Amino acid sequence: MEKLIVSEDEIVRVCSRLAKEIDSKLDETKNGVPVLVGIMNGALPFLYELVKHIKHPIEIDTIKASSYSGTETTGKVNITKEPDINLEGRDVILVEDIIDTGITMHYLKQFIKDHYKPKNLYVCVLVKRNNLNLKYSEIADFTGLTTDEQRYIVGFGFDYYGLWRNEPYVFVPSQKDIQ
């Protein structure tokens, strides 16, 4: 490993704090049981840690979207797995691993609003990268942490060509590990 970005302990602390913020928001909206929609595959470990700390009754679903091919963004969002739950009129919280330029989330939010018509749509992200090319900075409603790290990060759901998701913390791999 080159550099630790988020330790196991910090992940738990961050998820506990985010869950409190989400619970407060749900106290305000009073719109029944919300659906937390994890963006596969990267957000799955984060989703399951996060929901443990939420006090409100919730439902869980997933969507699969991809804008990356390898480590390059294409700026185009493809939906390859739709949510199973009917999201119309519901409070929906999209759960994502990382926002980099914000392009993926921007298009995904629009797609979800247009196709599934939730009443309220929120975004909860584990890591937000301070990116000079950030196009849509307003996009996350709940942010775990921000990082200045510009190198590719892996672990706890974050992959590099499909690998590393099972590591329990988030880190920058050493060059020799990703060649």
62 binds ligand 5GP (CB under 6 A): no
H/E segment holding residue 21 = helix 8-29
Give the Cα-Cα-Cα angle 17, 39, 124 (nearest 5 degrees): 25
Q: Which residues of 114-134 are buried (b: 16+ CB within 10 A; e: fewer)?
A: eebebebbbbbbbbbbebeeb
CA distance 41 to 43: 6
171 binds ligand 5GP (CB under 6 A): no
Active site residue 100: yes
Sole binder of ligand 5GP in the list 152, 166, 168, 174 (CB under 6 A): 152
- Choose the binding region for ligand 5GP from 30-38, 49-57, 114-122, 147-155 (rule: CB under 6 A): 147-155
27, 61, 84, 100: the catalytic one is 100
Tokens 């470990």 found at: 45
Pair of tokens at residue 23: 């619970």
- Choose the binding region for ligand 5GP from 5-13, 15-23, 67-75, 113-121 (rule: CB under 6 A): 67-75
Site residues, ligand 5GP (CB under 6 A)? 42, 67-68, 73, 96-105, 152-154, 158-159
Active site residues: 100
